[in-house]
Amino acid sequence: MKIVIVGAGAMGCLFAAFFTKSKEDLWLIEKNKENASKLNESGITVEGPNGSWQQKVKVTTACADIGKADLIIICVKSFNTKSAVEQIKPLLTDDTKILTLQNGIGNIEIISENTSEDRVIAGVTNEGSTLISLGKIRHAGHGETVIGSINGKTPVQMRAIREAFNKAGFETKMTRDIKSLIWSKLIINTGINALSAITRLPNGRLTQFEGTRRILRDAVTEATRIAKRKRIKLIFDDPIAKVEAVCEGTSANLSSMLQDVLRKKRTEVDFINGVIVRLGQELGIGVPTNKFLLDLVNTIEQSYKQSAG
- Mind telling me the catalytic residues? 185
Contact 123, 101 (CB under 8 A): yes
Nearest to 16 by CA among 75, 83, 84, 67: 75
d(CA 134, CA 36): 10
Contact 21, 168 (CB under 8 A): yes
The amino acid that residue 235 corresponds to is I
d(CA 249, CA 242): 10
d(CA 148, CA 155): 9
Concatenate the DSSP letters of all residues of 229-261 into one string: HTTPPPS-S-HHHHHHHHHHHTTTPPPHHHHHH
Sign (positive or negative) of CA dihedral 35, 36, 37, 39? positive
d(CA 219, CA 274): 12
Q: C-alpha angle 56/60/64, rounded to 5°?
A: 135
The three-state secondary structure class of 15 is helix
Q: Three-class SS string for 159-207?
A: HHHHHHHHHHCCCEEECCCHHHHHHHHHHHHHHHHHHHHHHCCCHHHHH
d(CA 122, CA 178): 7
For residue 29, report the phi and psi dihedrals to the nearest 5 degrees: -100, 120
